Amino acid sequence: MITAFDAANAYSAARSAVRPGSPAAPSPVEKLGQAAQDFAAQMAQVDAVATGAMTGRTDTHQLVQTIAESQLAMETVVAIRDKVVEAYQEILRMPV
């Protein structure tokens, strides 16, 4: 049974979600766009560090660390791409 206290708590929890002028949560498309920008920034950082290592301005330890981070980012992007392709193929296999 729902008591008045439970209803008041639920109302106060939902109140901030419907308040006019409150910032909306980012959509999945915006999140995906931000992830793509973060990935591009990571790859640009790898290029800068690799160039610095070739010219002697960057230490080798930093180069190895940056390459390891970029490898993890690349594996994540490839895994996401594989999931998207798999979902697309599943949709194509659906009977109409």
Q: What secondary structure letter does DSSP report for 48?
A: H
Instruction: Return the pLDDT at 52.
Output: 95
User: What is the predicted pLDDT for the residue at 29?
Assistant: 83
Which residue do the tokens 């729902």 mark? 2
- Span 66-86, mean pLDDT? 93
Mean pLDDT of 73-86: 93
Output phi, psi for 92, to 5 deg.
-65, -30
Tokens of 12: 């106060």
pTM greater than 0.75: no
For 9-66, the pLDDT digits (tens) are 777 777 666 666 656 678 888 888 898 999 999 999 999 999 999 999 999 999 999 9
